[in-house]
């Protein structure tokens, strides 16, 4: 197998070339505002970390109101979140690398403390985890799936 230096440029396709192969992996910071907007702390987190890397992947943002998985998670299910997401994009790209917004739906791992209508792709009970007990979700309808997409 050919060895490729970590600091070489890397073509992703569609005209995007990374300046190197160092990727900032998505991290959960729990620093979103209580209303689901991006906090200034979240912006600062990215601005401090994105220098000299090839690609940035943000922490997750839920794409449906009942898709939140933990407190402090920022949202993208409504246009009202666009100003904060735009600030996040600017911060994430401030080091010169492309950025990817990680989209997310907690599904069966949603905490009943955060959401009363827990939904997933099927009504199969989920195992308990560190953030949520075992629950049996409501199965999403086809229309709901299309809305999420």
pLDDT in tens, 2-20: 667 899 999 998 999 999 9
**Paired residues of 60 in beta bridges:** 102
Question: How does residue 148 score in pLDDT terms, banded at 50, 70 and 90?
Answer: confident
CB 118 within 8 A of CB 69: no
* Count of residues making up the chain: 149
**Paired residues of 102 in beta bridges:** 60
Q: What is the mean pLDDT of residues 118-146?
A: 91
Q: pLDDT value at position 144? A: 86
Q: pLDDT value at position 130? A: 85
CB 137 within 8 A of CB 105: no
pLDDT in tens, 35-81: 999 999 999 999 999 999 999 999 999 999 999 999 999 999 999 99
Report DSSP state, residue 29: -
Would you state the structure tokens that stand for residue 17, as one six-digit string? 């070339």
Q: Using a pLDDT cut of 70, give the percent of the chain over it.
A: 98
113 has pLDDT over 60: yes
- Global pTM reads 0.89
Q: pLDDT value at position 1? A: 54
CB 133 within 8 A of CB 140: no
**Who's near 63: CB < 8 A, 6+ residues apart?**
76, 77, 103, 104, 105, 148
Would you state the structure tokens that stand for residue 70, as one six-digit string? 């933990």
Q: pLDDT value at position 135? A: 92
Q: How far apart are CA 97 and CA 86, in angstroms?
A: 15
Q: How far apart are CA 56 and CA 108, in angstroms?
A: 27
Question: How does residue 149 score in pLDDT terms, banded at 50, 70 and 90?
Answer: confident
């Amino acid at each position: 197998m050919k060895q490729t230096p970590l600091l070489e440029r890397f073509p992703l396709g569609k005209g995007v070339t990374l300046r190197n192969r160092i990727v900032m992996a998505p991290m959960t910071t729990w620093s979103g505002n209580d209303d689901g907007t991006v906090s200034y702390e979240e912006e600062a987190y990215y601005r401090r970390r994105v220098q000299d890397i090839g690609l940035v992947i943000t922490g997750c943002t839920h794409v449906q109101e009942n898709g939140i998985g933990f407190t402090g998670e920022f949202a993208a299910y409504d246009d009202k979140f666009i100003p904060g997401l735009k600030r996040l994009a600017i911060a994430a790209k401030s080091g010169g690398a492309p950025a990817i917004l990680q989209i997310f739906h907690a599904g069966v791992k949603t905490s009943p403390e955060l959401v009363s209508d827990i939904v997933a792709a099927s009504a199969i009970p989920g195992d308990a985890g560190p953030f949520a007990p075992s629950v049996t979700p409501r199965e999403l309808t086809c229309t709901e799936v299309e809305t999420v997409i």
